[in-house]
Structure 1
Amino acid sequence: MTTLVTGATGNTGRHVVAELVRRGERVRALTRNPAAAAGRFPAEVELVAGTHTAPEKLNAVLDGVSRLHITVTAGLAEVGPELVQRAIAAGVRRFTVLWGGWVGPVEQAVADSGVEWTRLEAQEFMSNTLTWAESIRAEGVVREPYDFPSALVHEADIAAVAAVALLDDGHAGRSYNLTGPESLTPRERIAILSRAIRRDIAFEPITREQAVHRLMAIGVSQADAEYVVGWYAAPSDSSTTVDETVERVTGRPARTFTQWVDEHAERFLGRG
């Protein structure tokens, strides 16, 4: 049987592909540019061109697929239900959905689909820390409006849970809250980063308005920027409290932020 992974070159998608391959699954990886992605995956991965935000063009891609991993991204809300319908018509009988932060049209369409599904309610990704890389390299500073704790989760742990839910029985109809093994404030994360790269890093508070404008400057809509910054301003209990779901589902402890930093330390090194 074949599993289709959408967003296959993204922060989580590439880990989902790798975990499925590790478990011996036949994987079809959906990407806008298969030629550019070719060197990033094992030879046995079938790279196919397309995007999940254009489901009307995916009939051939869905042919022969029995399992589907969907990463909810911008632009999917309007067409996601059509993607789900086309997937079921093509023979998909098991879904995993990495949610977009709430139960929106895509998440609801899968839940109402009548086939097996598992929703991955991942909290903040550890890879969000990469947004600090440029200012750390250039100035040795991190600028954020808030210093609240977050139970960040490693992207590879999200992928590990996705693989279990896709390949093993017993996970249908479940929503999994996914966190890392510790809840850390930005200052605490900075201290870990500082030790790893052997450089002092300062924390500089900014206003909420500055944080919104910073996101808009890189192309984020004002509505989305307000939502993201608002999420940090009033984090939910599920985003700040450690949940052991990763360990319960995969049988091993969730990866720590220190482990993530060790894997990505070079991204924070540079001039200055």
Structure 2
Amino acid sequence: MGKILVTGATGNVGRHVVSRLAKAGLDVRAFARRPEKVQAGVETVQGDLTVPESLEPALKDVESVFLLWPEFNVGNAGEVVEAIARHARRVVYLSAHVPGGENTHYAAIERLIRRTPLKWTFLRPGGFAANTLVWAEQIRRGVVRWPFGQASRALIHERDIASVAVHVLTSAGHSGAAYALTGPAELTQIEQVRVIGEVIGREVRWEEQPPAEAREQLMEAWGDAAFVEQALTTWGSFVDAPERATDTVQRLLGRPALTFRQWAEDHAADFR
């Protein structure tokens, strides 16, 4: 098996992909803005995908690429995809499952990849359990004020996404596949908060936030009006049309997906 390049190598998913490949003794190279954060003993190239020329040295002798695009817009993703296609044979792209998401940057990058001769696999997770870390400070205060408490999703543990990525990168039969990845069960946001509270031994109350107030708050944090509107619309849609759990993780890995409670136990220190 040839060299595998992992972009986003210090992020929630990428760091687990790197560690699993390294533990298996495979030839892995990490691409990161801050190489000092990559685990010791792993070959690392410093760079930034928003500066496509910085990717060229990392692609030398690479056969497969785990691609995670770091921006909310497509930007110069076309140059990045072209560079990968010049060097590698296969790409596993961490996309996303977004209802009605044909106009998202995820879908745009999928289209860029499809136009190349690369063998591709798209991983399309739904909600990340790690996104609930945005509530950490509120949970420490005992009240989470957020919109759409009844929005229901089957949140996935980042370790499961990484495990699927490694499986796809190291086994045959996945070319041209688009895998919808979720956790094993659907929980409303109110239930997610309750589970985190139970895990850390603290009662946490949910307080419904008007979407208009949330919009102002998110604009301050993200600064991208289109992305804020997309996020609020998507979250709101899960009230009447919950994100349904899939069995993809179990089919690919031969074991059940990790539960949200298991994720909360792994991250309990982040909420205390």
Question: Does TM, normalized by the shorter one, top 0.5?
Answer: yes
Report % sequence identity: 37
What is the distance in 1 between the residues matched to 2:240 and 2:14?
Answer: 26
Q: What CA deviation, in whole Å up to 9, does each residue of 1:146-174 have, x standing for no partner?
A: 02110101111111111111110000000
Match of 2:90 among 69, 89, 94: 94
What is the distance in 2 between the residues matched to 1:220 and 1:125?
Answer: 21
- The answer to whether 1:23 aligns with 2:24 is yes
Letter in 1 for 2:167: V
Q: What CA deviation, in whole Å up to 9, does each residue of 1:9-63 have, x standing for no partner?
A: 111111111222233221111111213x14xx1x331121101121122211111
Partner of residue 187, structure 2: 184
Q: Provide the aligned length of Structure 1 versus Structure 2.
A: 263
Contact 1:97 1:118 in 2 (8 A): yes
Match of 1:229 among 227, 232, 239: 232
Deviation at 1:135? Answer: 1.0
Partner of residue 74, structure 2: 77
Partner of residue 7, structure 1: 8
Q: 1:217 to 1:259 in 2, by over 3 A?
A: same
Instruction: Please list every run of 5 or more consecutive structure 1 residues that lacks an aligned counterpart in the other structure.
Output: none
Instruction: Please list every run of 5 or more consecutive structure 2 residues that lacks an aligned counterpart in the other structure.
Output: none
Partner of residue 250, structure 2: 247
What is the distance in 1 between the residues matched to 2:205 and 2:9?
Answer: 35
Contact 2:45 2:58 in 1 (8 A): yes
Deviation at 1:236? Answer: 9.4
Q: 1:61 to 1:218 in 2, by over 3 A?
A: same
Contact 2:17 2:163 in 1 (8 A): yes
What is the distance in 2 between the residues matched to 1:23 and 1:237?
Answer: 43
Partner of residue 171, structure 1: 174
Q: What CA deviation, in whole Å up to 9, does each residue of 1:178-209 have, x standing for no partner?
A: 00000000111122111111111000001111
Partner of residue 263, structure 2: 260
Q: 1:94 to 1:238 in 2, by over 3 A?
A: farther
SS in 1 for 2:152: coil
Partner of residue 140, structure 1: 142
Q: 1:76 to 1:25 in 2, by over 3 A?
A: farther
Matches within 5 A, 1:59-74: 59-74=56-71
Letter in 2 for 1:45: V
Deviation at 1:106? Answer: 1.5
Contact 1:78 1:105 in 2 (8 A): no
- The answer to whether 1:51 aligns with 2:48 is yes
Deviation at 1:75? Answer: 5.4
Contact 2:222 2:228 in 1 (8 A): no
What is the distance in 2 between the residues matched to 1:72 and 1:161?
Answer: 18
Q: What CA deviation, in whole Å up to 9, does each residue of 1:107-132 have, x standing for no partner?
A: 11212222211000100000011000
Contact 1:179 1:239 in 2 (8 A): no
Structure 2 length normalisation: TM-score?
Answer: 0.91
Letter in 2 for 1:7: G
What is the distance in 2 between the residues matched to 1:99 and 1:32?
Answer: 20
Match of 1:114 among 91, 101, 117: 117
Contact 2:8 2:31 in 1 (8 A): yes
SS in 1 for 2:262: helix
Contact 1:121 1:177 in 2 (8 A): yes
Contact 2:85 2:117 in 1 (8 A): no
Deviation at 1:8? Answer: 1.0
Contact 1:32 1:49 in 2 (8 A): yes
Contact 1:77 1:104 in 2 (8 A): no
